[in-house]
Amino acid sequence: MTRAASRPKVWFVGAGPGAADLLTLRAAAVIAAADVVVWASSLVHADVLAHARPGAQIVDSAALPLEDVRALYERALATDLVVARIHSGDPALWGAVQEQRELCDELGLPHETVPGVSAYSAVAALAGRELTIPELAQSVILTRLGGGKTPMPAGEELAGLARHGTTMAIFLSAARSGQLQAELLAGGYPPGTPVVVAYRATWPDELIVECTVGTLAETVRARKLWKHTLFLVGPALAAAGTRSHLYHPGHFHGFRRADRQARLGLRAADASAAHAAASPAARAAVGQPPPEDARHEASP
C-alpha cells in the first residue's frame, strides 16, 4: 500500500542527481500516486516523469514564483489533491523546501518529505572513491562558495572551512572557479590536492574530470562549465594503502571476537598514528596550530 494514500497532501520528493532509476522506491510510489506532479525542468531530468500515472497534471515549476506555487497548494487543499513536488538531489540541501513547508503549515496542508540521493554521493560513486579514509579524512564538509546571490553566514567562508583539510563537496560554485581555487589554496590545501569535477552527474551528457586544486580554474574554464557542476576536494580522493578497523582481525564487535595478537598490533598502530597526527608537522599540514604545551615550550 502506498504511503501517498492520505489526501490532501504535498510530498517533497528528492529526485536524486539526475538518472530516473536513482529515485528511491518510496519516491517512485509517491509520484505514481500523485494527482499533480510539480517538477523543475531546469534541474530535474524529464525521465522521472515516467513514474507519473496517466492523467496526472504535470506542472513545470521552473518559471513559477512561490506565489504561484501557493495557488496550486490552495487548490490541492480545496479539492483533496495529492501533490508530488519533485526537487533535484536531496531536499535537505539547497532545495528552497523550508519556505514551502512553512507555506503548507500556514495553509493547514499536510506535507511529508522523501529524501533523495545527493549529487555528492553520486559523484563519489562515479569516481570510484570513498570520501572518508582512515587517518586521512573522517569528515565531509558540504558547502558552497560565498559572494553569490545568497550570502554566506559569518564563519562559513570557504577558506576557513578548507583549513580543516578534510574532504569537501562544493556546490553552486563553478561560475567563479578562479575565486574557488584561490580560497581553497588560501585555506591550506596544497596545489596538488586531488579534485573531482562533475558536470550533470548521472545525466546522459555527464562529464567527470580529475584535476588538482592548482589546476581547478583552468580545468573548468577549458570545458566552459558554469552551472550543474559539483567539486569533490581532498586527499582522500587519491588515497591508497590504508585499512579500516571494521574488517581487521584485531577489531571486535557484537558479532565477532578479535584475534589477540592482531588486537595488540592494532593498538600499537593506533597509538603510533595518533602520535604522528599530533606532531607539529602534521598539524601545520592542515593549518592547525601546535598544541598548547608545544607553544609554551617554543616560547622564549
Q: How far is CA 169 from CA 27, 128, 199, in A?
A: 25, 15, 13
Residues 6+ apart with CB under 8 A from 72: 36, 38, 59, 83
C-beta separation of 167 from 130 below 8 A: no
**CA quadruple 279, 159, 217, 62: dihedral sign:** positive
Give pLDDT, residue 2.
Answer: 46
Give pLDDT, residue 240.
Answer: 80
C-beta separation of 122 from 201 below 8 A: yes
Give pLDDT, residue 169.
Answer: 98
Q: Using DSSP bridges, classify how beta strands 229-233 and 194-199 pair: parallel, antiparallel or unpaired.
A: antiparallel
Strand, coil or helix: 227? coil
C-beta separation of 36 from 81 below 8 A: yes
C-alpha 61, offset from chain centre: 23
Strand order of the β-sheet with 194-199 is 140-144, 167-171, 229-233, 194-199, 207-212
Question: Could you give the CA distance from residue 66 to residue 96 in angstroms, rounded to a whole number?
Answer: 10
Cα torsion at 69, 91, 184, 160 (round to 10°)?
Answer: 90
Q: Which residues of the chain have pLDDT under 50?
A: 1-2, 4, 283-289, 291-300
C-beta separation of 234 from 132 below 8 A: no
**CA quadruple 142, 110, 32, 54: dihedral sign:** negative
Question: Could you give the CA distance from residue 23 to residue 27 in angstroms, rounded to a whole number?
Answer: 6
Give pLDDT, residue 7.
Answer: 86
Question: Side-chain half-sphere of 168: how many Cα atoms within 13 Å?
Answer: 30
Closest CA to 133 of 47, 280, 242, 284: 242
Give pLDDT, residue 4.
Answer: 47
